[in-house]
């Protein structure tokens, strides 16, 4: 088993696991000292490319961003999202997961889904590929509005059952996206692997957010996003100073010239 994963598994019931997204070297360098897991999420489709859905994100795009993100990660476990239509069956999944790992040097891949992907997870595990699961809202399957999961009894049972089955097939952790508070608690208590929540209350074993959202670079009104900073204001300030110095012929001074 990967050493970094072992460490993360031991955090369950001891301390919360910190996971954030990165799509580039510069962001990885900043977040890596603070994170346990860096996720190259296919959320980059909406955050960077303004796509309507993550379904438009290609394998090539994921690999290029992951290669960049890899450069800034020293200590965190690196997980890369397998994009839509790259794991429709076990052979396709294995071929693409191997390609992602070979080209990006990531530690693990993340797949969305429950019952539909069990055989795929099992096959990847058999081939020594580390897999993270993702339940609740599955952005690759949603068309239209996102609604939180776990309101109705049948849905609750289904998600809990899928979490247990994913664990059985060998995922090392599961992202729970927008799952009702008491269900997130029940799932987290029922599993020996850690759950990483996003919009799923503090009852999860760890939390993940899209870094661009939490630093205020991507402006979003999603309920579960807390903006911890306003990096846009800092960028505006720097750009404005640059503009002024250029207009007033202060930049570039001798110091910055040859």
Binding site for ligand KIV (CB under 6 A): 21, 39, 41-43, 81, 175, 198, 208, 210
**Smallest distance, ligand KIV to C-beta of residue 163, A:** 15
**Any idea of the CA torsion for 236, 239, 241, 242, to the nearest 10 degrees?**
180
**Smallest distance, ligand KIV to C-beta of residue 210, A:** 5
Burial class (CB in 10 A: 0-12, 13-18, 19+), 249: exposed
- In order of 32, 106, 182, the CA distances from 103 in angstroms are 20, 8, 40
Cα(209)–Cα(67) distance, rounded to whole angstroms? 21
- In order of 10, 11, 104, 137, the CA distances from 1 in angstroms are 13, 16, 19, 29
Give residue number: closest CB to ligand KIV: 41
**Smallest distance, ligand KIV to C-beta of residue 67, A:** 17
Which CB sits closer to ligand KIV, 81 or 162? 81
Angle between helical axes of 153-169 and 118-126 (0-180°, round to 10): 20
**Smallest distance, ligand KIV to C-beta of residue 54, A:** 6
Which CB sits closer to ligand KIV, 21 or 24? 21
Catalytic, out of 177, 180, 186, 245 = 177
Which CB sits closer to ligand KIV, 21 or 104? 21
155 is catalytic: no
Q: What b-and-e string marks burial along 146-172, b requiring 16 or more CB atoms within 10 Å of the CB? A: eebbbeeeeebebbbebbebbbebbbb
**Smallest distance, ligand KIV to C-beta of residue 245, A:** 37
Which CB sits closer to ligand KIV, 101 or 210? 210
User: Active-site residue numbers?
Assistant: 177
């Amino acid at each position: 088993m990967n050493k970094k994963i072992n460490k993360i598994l031991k955090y369950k019931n001891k301390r919360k696991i910190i996971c954030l997204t990165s799509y580039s070297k510069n962001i990885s360098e900043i977040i890596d000292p603070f994170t346990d897991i860096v996720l190259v999420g296919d959320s980059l489709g909406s955050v960077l490319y303004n796509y309507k859905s993550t379904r438009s994100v290609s394998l090539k795009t994921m690999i290029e961003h992951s290669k960049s993100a890899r450069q800034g990660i020293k200590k965190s476990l690196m997980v890369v999202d397998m994009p839509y239509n790259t794991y429709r069956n076990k052979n396709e999944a294995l071929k693409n997961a191997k390609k992602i790992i070979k080209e990006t040097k990531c530690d693990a891949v993340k797949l969305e889904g429950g019952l539909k992907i069990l055989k795929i997870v099992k096959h990847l595990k058999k081939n020594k590929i580390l897999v993270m699961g993702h339940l609740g809202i599955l952005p690759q399957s949603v068309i239209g509005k996102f609604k939180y999961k776990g309101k109705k009894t049948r849905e609750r049972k289904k998600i809990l059952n899928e979490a247990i089955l994913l664990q059985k097939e060998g995922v090392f952790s599961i992202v729970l996206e927008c799952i009702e508070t008491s269900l997130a608690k029940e799932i987290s208590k029922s599993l020996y692997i850690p759950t990483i929540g996003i919009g799923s209350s503090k009852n999860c074993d760890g939390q993940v957010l899209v870094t661009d959202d939490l630093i205020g670079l991507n402006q979003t009104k999603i309920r579960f996003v807390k903006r911890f900073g306003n990096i846009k204001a800092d960028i505006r300030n720097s750009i404005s100073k640059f503009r002024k110095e250029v207009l007033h012929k202060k930049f570039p001074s001798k110091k910055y010239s040859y």
